[in-house]
Each structure stands twice: as C-alpha cells, then as structure tokens.
Amino acid sequence: MTKKRKLTVIVTSAVVGVVVIACAAELLVALHNKKHKASVSSNEVTWTYTTNFLEGGDKTGTTGAVMSAGIEKDIDDNLEGLTASEEEATYYGYHNLGIASVDNHLNIRETPSGDGKLVGKMSNGDACEIYEITDDGWAHIKSGKIEGYASTDFLLTGPMALAKANEIITPIATTTGEGVRVREAPNTECSVITQLPKGEELKVLEELDNGWVKLDLDDEEAYISSDYVEVEPKLTTAISMTELLYGQGVSNVRVDICQYAKQFIGNPYVWGGTSLTKGADCSGFVMSVYAHYGISLPHYSGSQAQCGRTVSLSAVKPGDLIFYTRGGRINHVAIYIGNGQVCHASSPKTGIKVSSMYYRTPYKAVNIIGD
C-alpha cells in the first residue's frame, strides 16, 4: 500500500520560491522517476510524494517567511500502481537521507540527550540514514558504521537534504586490487608516488579519456589507471569516537595524545597554520598536538622526520608519527592512532580527518614520545 508523506516549506521570496519548487520537484521526479505534486498557495509550498520518508506519520518542515503571495503552480501527480520495489527507492543509497549542516562537526550521541556519551562525529556535509525523529528534536540516525542520536538543529532532511546531496556528491575511486600504483602523470612511464591496498578510497578530480583517473592526494594531483578502480558518486559519513584498542604496553600518554588529536576531526586545513580549531597544515597539526603534551617539534614535516627515533612500520604504536613522500621528498606527516589508522590535516577540501595508514605508502615511522 502506498505511503504518502507531506512536506511544507515556507520560502523567503517569490524568486527563491520558484527556485525551491523547481529544484525540489526536479530532484523528486528524477529520483522517483514519477510525477510529484507541488502546489503554492499564498506563502506555502507543499509537496506530497510517496516514500517511507521519516516513518511514523506525516512530517512537516518549515523555514523562512514569504515576501509575496499569489504564486500558483501545480505539477500533476499520478502515483497509481506504485510497486513495493519502487516504494523502497533510495537516494544515494539512503532511504531517509539526512545531511549534517554545521561549521565543523555534528556530535552523535549514544542517547537522545546533550549529556549522552559521544560515539561519533559528522563533519559538514556528511550523510546519514534517519530512522526516526523524536518530539524533542533528536534524530535516531546511522552514518557509516556509527549509530546514535544527533540534534535536528544541525541536520538537513527531506528535499533540503536531497538538494544539498546533489550539490556536494563527490565521485570516489575505490581500488579493486592490492598494490595499485598511483603515478605522477597519466602514463606508465612516469614515477610511482605510492601503492594502495584494496578498498582504499580517493576523491576523483577528473576521469580522463585515455583510461586514467585524476585524483586528489593530500591536495596534490595524482593519477591511477581506470583498470584498477571503480568510480562512483558517494557521500561522506561519520567517524567513530569509540575508544581504540591500543593493546598491551601502550602508555597513558599515547592514549591521551590520540584522543586529543581526534577532538579536532572536521576542523579546517590551512597551509602554514598551527591552530587546532581555526586551521592547521599537516605539520602544524602534529606540532600543536604534541605541544599540548610538552613535546616541542619544528613546523615542517621533513624536519619532524629527523626528530625522535625511527621505528619499524610493523612495530608502530599509537602516538607515533607516520611520514609520506612524493618524488623522494617527505611532504606529509600524520599521527598513528591505532587499528591501522592515522589522524592528519589532509587538505583544504577534507580538513582534519582519519585515514587508513596505507592510504599512501608510508615512508617511515618515528617515535617522538621516547618511551
């Protein structure tokens, strides 16, 4: 049986109203491949469409106020014969899509309360599945592997979420084999920058006609053969804040450093910066994190690599530094946080984030702590 949901949107002007109607109607029609009804009377725009959006009954959302009236627009609706499979339609892989709309990050909590245990963070633009919304403004969501509750004050839903997703959706290249080579140019004659394990994901800048894919590798251009990747549009998701499994023999200061570094996930990358909140580059991020624990480091990844004691990559511990190279020169540094992951200031596009330690081939590891 068809389930109908109604969304009411109040827009800020007649011009904006037309744009909102056009964009939302186009998205809904494209995603459902059916006609949907939009009507405007005075200052309200109302869409009625069939989907299991926000289970539990009709949901209404409003924003802004209209400055003019008398707009009338009807888009014929004919939803007869909707099949069960069509009713389960998804939007970029989500049935009930939500998009974080924040300056830096949106906290995901274990319970629907500001005092609930923090279990994850969604950066601006991260996507989630919305299971339900409580009367007091909390959304029960799942983003990536993280399930919990987030405030609806910072969560776009319905056509607003779809419109935002359509704006920010990013093509991602996922490697399909082990040891996939990333090169400096789109040919096999040039130097190899790094090798990637199976399942590694990188942002696509362009798919070239000659069988190569241009990638964003820490804000530098790189290339990979299209034979060894699958490219598809994806939305980013939340990062877990669950305590990591550090293993035996890991000092408390190492645990503290990793947890401290993770507090700044989602904050911006700024070249030459050292602020953990307003923006830092890769070495500035590392320098400021360790300065919090009384460890002084220079502000340059190549110089940081000369500090401390070099350790085997197979023996790396949480709190150690991982260095990466391009063209034989160290050009990036990250903090190893356990479970094969690093925390680093990646690029202006992605900011401070968590990646696989092997998202690029590590050049060396250094014990800065000295234990």
State the DSSP code for 134. -
- Among the listed residues 32, 36, 105, 332, the single catalytic one is 332
Residue 144, SS3 per DSSP: coil
Q: Which fold has domain 243-367?
A: endopeptidase fold (from Nostoc punctiforme) (3.90.1720)
- Say whether 258 is catalytic: no
Q: DSSP strand E in 82-137: where?
A: 97-100, 105-109, 118-123, 127-133
- Say whether 32 is catalytic: no
Residue 313, SS3 per DSSP: helix
Superfamily name with CATH number, domain 91-168: SH3 Domains (2.30.30.40)
Q: Which of 153, 165, 200 is nearest to 359 (CA)?
A: 200
Q: What is the pLDDT of residue 48?
A: 36
Q: How does pLDDT run along the chain (371 residues), one tens digit per residue? A: 333 333 333 333 333 333 343 344 344 434 333 333 333 333 333 333 333 333 333 333 333 333 333 322 332 333 333 343 444 457 788 999 999 999 877 899 999 999 998 888 888 899 999 999 999 999 999 998 889 999 999 999 999 999 999 998 889 899 998 889 999 999 999 988 888 888 888 889 999 999 999 998 877 889 999 999 999 998 888 766 543 344 444 457 888 898 899 889 889 999 999 999 999 999 999 999 999 999 999 999 999 999 999 999 988 999 999 999 988 899 999 999 988 899 999 988 889 999 889 888 899 999 998 87
Domain residue spans in the chain? 1-89, 91-168, 170-234, 243-367
Residue 41, SS3 per DSSP: strand
Do residues 302 and 330 touch, judged by C-beta distance below 8 A?
Answer: yes
Do residues 267 and 348 touch, judged by C-beta distance below 8 A?
Answer: no
Question: Measured between alpha carbons, how far is 20 from 311 in angstroms, rounded to an integer?
Answer: 56
Question: Measured between alpha carbons, how far is 350 from 352 in angstroms, rounded to an integer?
Answer: 7
- Among the listed residues 32, 36, 105, 344, the single catalytic one is 344
Do residues 244 and 318 touch, judged by C-beta distance below 8 A?
Answer: yes
Question: Alpha helix locations (H) across the chain?
Answer: 14-32, 84-87, 158-168, 252-262, 282-291, 301-304
Residue 54, SS3 per DSSP: coil
Do residues 359 and 344 touch, judged by C-beta distance below 8 A?
Answer: no
Exposed / middle / buried, residue 114 (Cβ in 10 Å: 0-12, 13-18, 19+): exposed
Six-digit token string for 329: 């020169």
- Angle of CA points 214, 205, 29, to nearest 5°: 135
For residue 309, what are the CA distances in angstroms to 167, 274, 321, 322?
Answer: 46, 24, 10, 12
Does the 170-234 domain belong in CATH 2.30.30.40? yes
Residue entry with tokens 């409003």: 62
Helix orientation angle between 282-291 and 252-262, rounded to the nearest 10 degrees: 130
Question: Measured between alpha carbons, how far is 38 from 73 in angstroms, rounded to an integer?
Answer: 7
Q: Which of 308, 338, 334, 302 is nearest to 321 (CA)?
A: 334
Instruction: Kindly report whether the global pTM for this prediction surpasses the value 0.85.
Output: no
Question: Measured between alpha carbons, how far is 272 from 82 in angstroms, rounded to an integer?
Answer: 56
Q: Which of 156, 96, 89, 163 is nearest to 130 (CA)?
A: 96
- Angle of CA points 66, 69, 70, to nearest 5°: 150
Q: Does this chain's domain 91-168 share its CATH topology with 170-234? A: yes
